[in-house]
């Protein structure tokens, strides 16, 4: 197992290298120029050229790439073109809101989806199953921003129970933090809830038709015990896989949620940096996202061995 983990960790290096090259080239080849944005309407060509020189954007692309790569090797993601702050500082400022939003979303999604999927499979082809699937389809169909606006209107404007926007840090207490995350987590969580519920239902239906389940039922075991201990555990591998994929998808999904609920997280940082062509931030963030995705995949793979003893690395 240890050898497998080490092997997988080493395998991330070429993946990250490819990501680095792609990100760098895509950004440089995309239209747009931060120097022109900084210089403004009244700038002359000479003004823009001077700013480009100051930012090092007048250098050939390969020179810029080598400099950037050298800095990365030393753990330096660079400095924002606009704020002049280190990218690592900017990412650190935004990490907590995004992680907390992702965690809250997963809690909402998983706690709703698994019972929903299990019930749907257990009562397959009944009204309970159909209701569960209608809920899932709705979860998929309603865009996050629309769900967000509706939730804000009901719970923040009409009922005044929860804040419209913003994120309250854990430093200010657990409840204020949770309060600021309820609406965004529900808005974002419904999509993932739908995804996980459908996979849970499908996986459970497959397991429930197996002989050992029929045997367990024949032995007179309680339904609850059959469903949760015998069926759900054996149906867990695809469910965990989809939860893992969901975490990776969340990284991109938080962008809209962070915008609608004004949560100062990594998603907003990415969008703002792309629109401003703040290259060092975009490059740094995509590297961080890629590394996170690789790690999540590794963790999913490792979890299979715990869930299914037949799987060994």
Q: Provide CB contacts within 8 A for 305, sequence distance 6+.
A: 1, 311, 312, 313
10 membership: H or E segment, kind and range: helix 2-29
CB of 287 to other proteins, least distance (A): 19
CB of 84 to other proteins, least distance (A): 5
* Nearest residue (CB) to other proteins, 2 versus 44: 44
Single out the residue of 76, 272, 301, 308 in contact with other proteins (rule: CB under 8 A): 272
For position 157 contacting other proteins by CB under 8 A, the verdict is: yes
How many residues bind to other proteins according to rule CB under 8 A? 49
For position 29 contacting other proteins by CB under 8 A, the verdict is: no
For position 83 contacting other proteins by CB under 8 A, the verdict is: yes
**For residues 251 and 254, what is the distance between their CA atoms, to the nearest angstrom?**
6
CB of 268 to other proteins, least distance (A): 6
The stretch among 2-10, 50-58, 215-223, 288-296 that binds other proteins (CB under 8 A) is 50-58
For position 143 contacting other proteins by CB under 8 A, the verdict is: no
**For residues 213 and 228, what is the distance between their CA atoms, to the nearest angstrom?**
11
For position 173 contacting other proteins by CB under 8 A, the verdict is: no
Binding to other proteins (CB under 8 A): which residues in 174-233? Answer: none
Single out the residue of 11, 13, 32, 134 in contact with other proteins (rule: CB under 8 A): 32
Token pair 């050229």: residue: 49
For position 43 contacting other proteins by CB under 8 A, the verdict is: yes
Q: What is the three-class DSSP state of 58? A: coil
189 membership: H or E segment, kind and range: helix 174-208
* Nearest residue (CB) to other proteins, 12 versus 259: 259
For position 160 contacting other proteins by CB under 8 A, the verdict is: yes
* Nearest residue (CB) to other proteins, 285 versus 294: 285
CB of 141 to other proteins, least distance (A): 21
Single out the residue of 2, 74, 84, 218 in contact with other proteins (rule: CB under 8 A): 84
Binding to other proteins (CB under 8 A): which residues in 224-263? Answer: 259-262
CB of 248 to other proteins, least distance (A): 23
For position 100 contacting other proteins by CB under 8 A, the verdict is: no
For position 72 contacting other proteins by CB under 8 A, the verdict is: no
* Nearest residue (CB) to other proteins, 81 versus 121: 81
Short-list 88, 56, 59, CA closest to 72: 88
* Nearest residue (CB) to other proteins, 100 versus 132: 100
Binding site for other proteins (CB under 8 A): 30-33, 36-45, 48, 50-51, 53-54, 80, 82-85, 90, 93-94, 149, 152-153, 156-157, 160, 163-166, 259-262, 264, 268-269, 271-272, 275-277
């Amino acid at each position: 197992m240890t050898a497998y983990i080490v092997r997988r960790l080493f395998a991330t290096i070429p993946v990250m290298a490819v990501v680095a090259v792609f990100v760098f080239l895509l950004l440089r080849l995309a239209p747009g120029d931060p120097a022109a944005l900084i210089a403004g309407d009244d700038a002359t060509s000479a003004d823009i050229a001077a700013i480009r020189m100051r930012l090092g954007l007048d250098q050939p692309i390969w020179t810029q790439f080598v400099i950037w790569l050298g800095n990365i090797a030393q753990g330096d993601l660079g400095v924002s073109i606009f704020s002049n702050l280190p990218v690592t500082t900017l990412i650190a400022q935004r990490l907590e809101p995004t992680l907390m939003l992702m965690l809250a979303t997963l809690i909402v999604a998983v706690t709703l989806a698994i019972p929903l999927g299990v019930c749907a499979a257990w009562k397959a082809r009944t009204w309970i199953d159909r209701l569960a699937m209608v809920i899932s389809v709705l979860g998929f169909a309603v865009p996050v921003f629309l769900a967000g606006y509706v939730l804000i209107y009901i719970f923040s404007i009409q009922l005044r129970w929860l804040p419209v926007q913003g994120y309250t840090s854990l430093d200010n207490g657990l409840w204020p933090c949770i309060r600021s995350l309820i609406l965004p987590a529900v808005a974002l969580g419904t999509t993932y809830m739908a995804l996980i519920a459908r996979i849970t239902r499908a996986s459970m239906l497959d397991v429930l038709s197996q002989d050992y389940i029929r045997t367990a039922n024949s032995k007179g075991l309680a339904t609850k015990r059959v469903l949760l201990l015998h069926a759900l555990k054996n149906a867990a591998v695809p469910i965990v896989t989809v939860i893992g994929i969901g975490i990776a998808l969340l990284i991109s999904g938080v962008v809209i949620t962070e915008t609608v609920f004004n949560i100062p997280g990594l998603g907003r940082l990415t969008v703002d940096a792309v629109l401003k062509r703040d290259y060092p931030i975009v490059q740094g963030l995509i590297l961080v996202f890629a590394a996170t995705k690789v790690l999540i995949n590794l963790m999913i793979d490792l979890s299979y061995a715990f869930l299914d003893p037949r799987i060994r690395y």
